[in-house]
Structure 1
């Protein structure tokens, strides 16, 4: 009984995180993120601003270790979903 609720919660959290990351990326860089985009290639200040935009959209805060070694926008989506499920900062 609980498994379907957990799956639904995970899907909803992932959808919210995906929307936040994609819209923040588009607003900041003028294009949608692609599979070839790498977060480490973005200027460090612009990357911090981008992550801050995502935090504002999600209403949660990332810790440095949450985002420090993420490679792609998809990784940020997954991390955002994890934090939403756990209820904010770990």
Structure 2
């Protein structure tokens, strides 16, 4: 007997509200993913943010010395992409 699951029934359709951009554990988040962003728009943004992070990381490697602006750009892009992915996951679980 095979057990089939309809993933489309549980797949997220839009984002849940998700804060991000914590300076450290003692501060409130600076940014927020808005609830209700369609999955296609969120995935495009995730892809663009990860492309930016990848290119910034490559630049850092080319310089051989940490460039503070490139480092923060890379960290912010990864943080924002993760927040969007988390917002999609939370949106699919009814967390929005």
Return the TM-score normalized by structure 2. Answer: 0.33
Task: Please tell me whether Structure 1 or Structure 2 has the larger radius of gyration of its CA atoms.
Answer: 2
Judging by fraction of residues, say which structure has more helix. Answer: 1
